[in-house]
Amino acid sequence: MFTARNAGATQVQPTTPVPAHAIRFTTPVMPTPAVFLLIRWVYRLVRLVVLAPLRFPVGVSTLLGSVVTLHYLGWVGLALGGVLAVSGLGLWAWRWPRVFHCLVVLRVLATWRWVWVYRRHWQPVLVIAGLAESYQERHHLPRIRAVTCTDWADRVRVRLVAGTAPADLEHRVSELAHGFGAPSCRVRVRGPRDVVLEFPRRDLLAHPVGALPVPDHPQDVDLAALPVGRCEDGQEWRLRLHGTHVLTVGVTGSGKGSVLWSAIRAMTPAIAHGTVRVWAIDPKRMELSYGRALFARYADSAETAVALLEAAVGEMRQRASRYAGHQRVHTPTTDDPFIVVVLDEVAFLSAYHPDRDIRRRAENAIATLTSQGRSVGVCVLAALQDPRKEVMNLRNLFPDKIALRLDEASQVDMVLGEDARDRGANAHLIDPEVPGVGFVRLEGSPAPVRVRSAYVTDDDIATMVDGYGRSPSSPEEGG
């Protein structure tokens, strides 16, 4: 096989005879002196022996303990010791299962995955993924520093070769995921030349997440971190509404409604208390009408929807002039509640409506709210099917975006920002069988995170309306 090592030694065979007086140049080949090779092998052996107790403490201490027991107590002692150790482990697993799981099961699993999956396939996968050349020596490859396992994923900490960048790995996440038999791969940068590759072993979002519990008191509602679903690592997915605007994008049936309803559900005690007011616009009359009693204002026709948006702009301006010179941040109170304009199918008003005047007024109002509403306590929470510019040229006015299932790969970056797809946000590949699954960028991390919104059923909405909705005798605001 042609490799770089023998490349230097290869000489071109002349097709015509070379005259005796002609001078031929060949690349000098300097074989590594045997003594250096020997030193390198000895160094590797010593390093292996020295590092083994640190890398595999359980394995090495078990081996040492067995040898010592065998030496002093013989085979019977060893068998007895084995029975005692196994019983001790059994007792531990029975008495403190979680601690046992974290300290023993996950560590053994990590060692096994390191040796059997990552170390064994490391070089071939990197070569086939185009991240290394086949002739490269192991020490010229990115090096696996450690493998740890969580309940749902393997984390492979890698030291990059000088001169390479995490982006090289980010551009090959699909190849890496397939190479190591994982459903996806995410790259997290820890520091210079220090990255972690995260390979899920199983999908914690495969099953629907039921509606999350409603907080007991209005004070428990954290408008900067409303629980709305689950992240792929099993943690709660929390969504900020106060101080931002959120756009949820996804094809029809992707679960946009569940994001809107999960956010509303997480705020219900504050809605009942009056520190939060939801102004809802439901052009399809399908999504939000069921919970109408929870909303301070509701609109389902184009004219009333535009009037609602313009009323929100009026309220925002009035607050801005009241705050000017006195107050820089909004604190929700019953006099100055946090206003959430929930807008389903936003393109219906801003792009698809046949009346040009309606489209223009809606677009102006949404642009004004999203560009000036944040600091005075007005938030727009909108849902959209098609993120292309022709349909929604206001999308960049929404600081936070959620990409549910999308039609095309090119739409991922339109929603989540330029490098989102390279970083593994494959929203166009989401299975239609898992509505509510999507990708978001969480605060403080550039890497998109896979999430699933909690599913709020019609029964859940009916319970919310019963517990927290306006009584039929109290009318909506402005109506």
User: Residue 250 touches which of ligand ADP, Mg ion, none (CB < 5 to 8 A by kind)?
Assistant: ligand ADP
287 touches Mg ion by CB under 5 A? yes
What's the Cα-to-Cα distance from 351 to each of 346, 358, 366, rounded to whole Å?
8, 9, 12
Q: How far apart are CA 315 and CA 372, in angstroms?
A: 12
410-432 burial: b if 16+ Cβ within 10 Å, else e: ebbbbbbbebbbbbbbbbbebee
Q: How far is the CB of 287 from Mg ion (least distance, A)?
A: 5
Task: Determine whether the annotation assigns residue 254 to a binding site.
Answer: yes
Task: Determine whether the annotation assigns residue 82 to a binding site.
Answer: no
Q: How far apart are CA 228 and CA 451, in angstroms?
A: 10
Residue count, binding to ligand ADP (CB under 6 A): 14
What's the Cα-to-Cα distance from 387 to each of 42, 345, 397, rounded to whole Å?
60, 11, 13
| CA atoms in the 13 A half-sphere facing the CB of 293 | 14
Task: Determine whether the annotation assigns residue 88 to a binding site.
Answer: no
Residues 418-457 as x/- pattern, contact with ligand ADP by CB under 6 A = -----------------xx---------------xx-x--
Task: Determine whether the annotation assigns residue 370 to a binding site.
Answer: no
Q: Name the one residue in this structure whose structure tokens are 């809605």.
A: 271
Smallest Cα–Cα separation from 291: which of 255, 264, 259, 256? 264
- Beta strands at 236-239 and 186-191: parallel, antiparallel or unpaired: unpaired
Q: How far apart are CA 223 and CA 276, in angstroms?
A: 9
Residue nearest to ligand ADP (CB): 436
Span interacting with Mg ion, options 130-138, 280-288, 326-334, 471-479, rule CB under 5 A? 280-288
One residue of 184, 254, 368, 426 binding ligand ADP per CB under 6 A:
254
Task: Determine whether the annotation assigns residue 314 to a binding site.
Answer: no
Closest to ligand ADP by CB, 305 vs 316, is: 305
Residues 387-416 as x/- pattern, contact with ligand ADP by CB under 6 A = ------------------------------
Contacts of residue 188, Cβ cutoff 8 Å, sequence gap at least 6: 195, 196, 198, 445, 447
386 touches Mg ion by CB under 5 A? no
Task: Determine whether the annotation assigns residue 284 to a binding site.
Answer: no
268 touches ligand ADP by CB under 6 A? no
289 touches ligand ADP by CB under 6 A? no
Q: How far is the CB of 443 from Mg ion (least distance, A)?
A: 26
One residue of 258, 268, 368, 411 binding ligand ADP per CB under 6 A:
258
282 touches Mg ion by CB under 5 A? no
Span interacting with Mg ion, options 107-115, 222-230, 251-259, 450-458, rule CB under 5 A? 251-259
Let me know: does 205 contact 230? Beta carbons within 8 Å: yes
Q: How far is the CB of 96 from ligand ADP (least distance, A)?
A: 34
332, two tokens: 């929700």
203-242 residues in contact with ligand ADP (CB under 6 A) are: 208
435 touches Mg ion by CB under 5 A? no
283 touches Mg ion by CB under 5 A? no
Q: How far is the CB of 246 from ligand ADP (least distance, A)?
A: 15
Q: What does the angle CA 460 – CA 152 – CA 170 come to, to the nearest 5 degrees?
A: 105
Closest to Mg ion by CB, 256 vs 319, is: 256
Q: How far is the CB of 1 from Mg ion (least distance, A)?
A: 58
Task: Determine whether the annotation assigns residue 257 to a binding site.
Answer: yes
Q: How far is the CB of 452 from ligand ADP (least distance, A)?
A: 6
Other C-beta atoms within 10 Å of 180: how many? 18
Closest to ligand ADP by CB, 261 vs 298, is: 261
192 touches ligand ADP by CB under 6 A? no
Residue count, binding to Mg ion (CB under 5 A): 3
Q: How far is the CB of 210 from ligand ADP (least distance, A)?
A: 9
One residue of 142, 255, 257, 332 binding Mg ion per CB under 5 A:
257
Task: Determine whether the annotation assigns residue 274 to a binding site.
Answer: no
Smallest Cα–Cα separation from 154: which of 181, 190, 126, 127? 181
257, two tokens: 């409604």
Q: Which amino acids are annotated as binding site for ATP, given as ranges?
A: 250-257
What residue ranges bind Mg ion (CB under 5 A)?
256-257, 287
What residue ranges bind ligand ADP (CB under 6 A)?
208, 250, 252-258, 435-436, 452-453, 455
